[in-house]
Amino acid sequence: MPLLELDNVATFYGSIQALKGISLSIAAGEIITLIGANGAGKSTTLMTICGIAPPRAGRILFRGAAIEAAEPHEIVRRGISQVPEGRRIFPHLTVTENLAMGAFLRKDSTEIARDREYLFSLFPILKERRHQPGGTLSGGEQQMLAISRALMARPALLLLDEPSLGLAPLVSRLIFRIIRQINEERRTTILLVEQNANLALRIAHRGYVLENGRITLEGNCAELLGNEEVKRAYLGM
């Protein structure tokens, strides 16, 4: 049974249909990437899964249970966390306070402290900056904080929306390496939306191509990297 399954999902913004019957599945432990042009429906897919933009039709199953009508806080409680586009950390809270906000549904204080130290080991700069307000961090550091805050919920499924947006290439590669490390060490399942298709396809296991709210292509990442249409449209080759 897939960890997450979307079945013929349609999402609208008013009268405008953003998702036109998409279906996809994610197995536990996978990294899946969604690639496509701006406006293809990638971010809408994530917002639909996490309850911010509920679908008008179709089903969303998480661990076999329907969640398409669930409230966002209930979806978080069930084990899905999102890192939104643009990071959206709490700028006036310190790094440590931002991490605490990520764990607000948890009561296991010893494990919370252990998870915080694990994330500090992945992102040592956050440990150095732990008493600084989040708004004083660089863009790359804020992205590290946003990812860490989401992981403090100890999700089964992590949704990442454009983690490389606005970052220098060196910082982007570092963050993508750590995303893969988190998947391998913690077996966290990841659904990744990313404009940099080359980076995304090199760390993911499988991918889906979205065009105008529809999935037009899917396959393992080696296949997609070798696909002439993908090369031409998304890899600049």
Q: Cβ atoms within 10 A of the Cβ of 9, count?
A: 24
Q: What is the DSSP string of 40-97?
A: SSHHHHHHHHTTSS--SEEEEEETTEE-TTS-HHHHHHHTEEEE-TT----TTSBHHH
What does pTM read for this prediction? Answer: 0.93
Report the distance separating Cα 1 and Cα 153, nearest Å.
23
CA angle 220, 225, 228 (to 5 degrees): 115
Element (H, E) at 236: none
Per-residue pLDDT, 219: 93
Domain ranges of the chain: 1-79+156-237, 88-154
Per-residue pLDDT, 237: 54
Query: In the block, which residue shows the tokens 């919370």?
Result: 112
Pick the closest to residue 171 from 133, 136, 137 (CA basis). 137
CA angle 81, 86, 87 (to 5 degrees): 45
Report the distance separating Cα 206 and Cα 219, nearest Å.
6
Per-residue pLDDT, 217: 93
Which range (68-77, 179-188, 225-234) has the least confidence? 225-234
Q: Which fold has domain 1-79+156-237?
A: Rossmann fold (3.40.50)
pLDDT in tens, 193-224: 988 898 999 999 999 999 999 999 999 999 99
Report the distance separating Cα 194 and Cα 37, nearest Å.
10
Q: Are 126 and 118 in contact (CB under 8 A)?
A: no
Per-residue pLDDT, 165: 85
Query: How many Cα atoms sit within 13 Å of 235 on the Cβ side?
Result: 17
132 φ/ψ angles, rounded to the nearest 5 degrees: -85, 145
